[in-house]
Copies of this chain bind each other. A is one copy, B any other.
Amino acid sequence: MSGEQELGITESKEHSTGEWYAEVVQKAELADYAPMGGFIVTRPRGYAVWERIQDHLDGWFKDTGVDNAYFPMFIPESYLEREKDIVEGFDPEVAWVTHGGHDELEERLAVRPTSESIITPFIADWVRSHRDLPMRLNQWCSVVRWEATETKPFFRTKEFLWQEGHTAHADEDGAWDETMTRLDQYERLYEDVMAMPALKGRKPEHDKFPGAHTTTTIETLMPDGKSVQAATSHYLGTSFAEAFDITYADEDEEDQTAHTTSWGLSWRSMGALIMLHSDDQGLVLPPTLAPTQVVIVPIWQEDNKEEVVEYAADAAAELEEAGVRVNLDDRDNRNPGFKYNEWELKGVPLRIEVGPNEVEDDELTLVHRPDGENSVESRDDIAATVEDHLDTVYAKLYASAEETLEGEIREADSREEILGTIGQHGGYVKTGWCGDEDCEDPIKDALAAEIVMVPLDRDEEPLHDDCAICGDEAEETAYWAKTY
């Protein structure tokens, strides 16, 4: 059937990862390329995954004292310039609005690349007393960063969807706790919702968010051995509070400067999700995020069509009643094999096959995605059985990803060993590191690998006494990897 060939994935995940990824994203109808380079259109099947990610995170944020708000998408150039690191960090990649209607604007407006520069002055205005602290704001929005790179849907786009949290606290302890609370929530999202084991760490000083005191990061490993910066949470110290004057009266009516944080997770998380779990048959999604968790495919002959379809519909109704996101595929114009392929391509985690045998024996055949494991189950209590199977599918996805990660953290103690290990295996390589940015250069130049993180704990003893590059005394343990 010609439709079938057109439908299927033709590229190989192992041999042409980039092309395969682009094919999965488009053929599973997650996204399309916009007419402007660097922009994508997120289609319903993609957006539904993002909505579920939002729902989880947003609930956790609200449970822990965060309020949603909405700030303008434009930032006046003069505001952007008030915090010098932000300007230096983002100026080269800002999209500028220069005209409104037929008139040139008096001051250029930046399309927000991140919103510290417009949110912090308002927090400064709203915070008067220690009673107003902590103040925790979040917004779900899109931001624009004009990077001149190839479009990679969700991973790298000039406009992307994200949430950005911005908080102010009375002191460093409060702000640091906040930074870690959000990092832990991001970790929880990866571990418990996305079936992705995650590493937590700190970015090296030279790779921090502009203006931050400390940037903490969640890193996840892709099957091609590259690391993805999967979310970041920044302790900003007092740099933004000073630039925008967030002061408050403490209990003794003394003026104090607040400490601030910001933290964000973007749709890059979806890119990593798709990249990690999917396969040469197409999209693989954990049941937690799949818009359709179960597809029921009835398999009939003309003489038993009515009873097979009715049996299947009855099971679908029972699952739906129990809150399972189920789709009954009783299309006349497609055969079962076509349907299997299509739903595998689109990432449905569990398929239920119903033929005359199942009807006769009062059973259902359940097939797992992606490993194809199948089992015949009793029709009784099918909702509970299906929930168990969905849990199993999740656990298998996680276990597979965890196994990959565990084998991919290696050690090295020389430049040659770093290059050799990453070159041969990918993954993470841990070394001693003196802390000097210059020591990153030879690895970057030779292999496009970099230091993706150092341990969260600044006092942790380095793994090796010496820096693997320059041989000076090591200050930290560096995790090297190629990156997305």
- A residues sitting closer than 8 Å to B (CB atoms) are 32, 34-36, 39-44, 47-48, 50-51, 67-74, 76, 79, 91-102, 109, 111, 118, 121-122, 125-126, 137, 141-142, 144, 146, 148, 158-159, 161
Contacts and interface: CB of A to CB of B under 8 A. Distances in A.
Contacts of A79: 35
Nearest to A35: B76
A179 to B, nearest CB: 21
Contacts of A32: 122, 125
A100 B146 contact: yes
A375 to B, nearest CB: 33
A67 B48 contact: yes
A48 B68 contact: yes
19 contacts: A32-B122, A34-B71, A34-B72, A35-B76, A35-B121, A36-B109, A41-B69, A41-B122, A42-B71, A43-B69, A44-B67, A47-B69, A70-B142, A91-B101, A95-B99, A95-B109, A96-B98, A100-B146, A111-B111
Nearest to A44: B67
A403 to B, nearest CB: 34
Contacts of A161: 70
Contacts of A68: 44, 47-48, 51
Most chain B CB atoms below 10 A, which of A69, A141, A144: A69
A100 B92 CA distance: 8
A148 B36 CA distance: 29
A452 to B, nearest CB: 25
Contact of A74 (B44, B51, B74, B159): B159
Nearest to A72: B39
Contacts of A141: 142
A400 B124 CA distance: 40
Given A36-B74, A92-B102, A69 B44 contact: yes
A173 to B, nearest CB: 24
B99 A98 contact: yes
A36 B79 CA distance: 11
Contact of A101 (B43, B94, B102, B121): B94
A48 B93 CA distance: 32
Given A73-B142, A93-B100, 20 more contacts: A36-B74, A36-B76, A36-B109, A39-B74, A43-B126, A44-B69, A47-B70, A48-B68, A51-B68, A74-B95, A91-B101, A94-B100, A94-B101, A95-B100, A95-B101, A96-B97, A97-B98, A97-B111, A100-B158, A101-B148
A99 B100 contact: no
B72 A159 contact: yes
A34 B118 CA distance: 9
Contacts of A125: 32
A102 B125 CA distance: 32
Contacts of A43: 69, 126
Given A69-B47, A70-B161, A76-B36, A97 B97 contact: yes
A386 B6 CA distance: 59
Contacts of A109: 36, 95
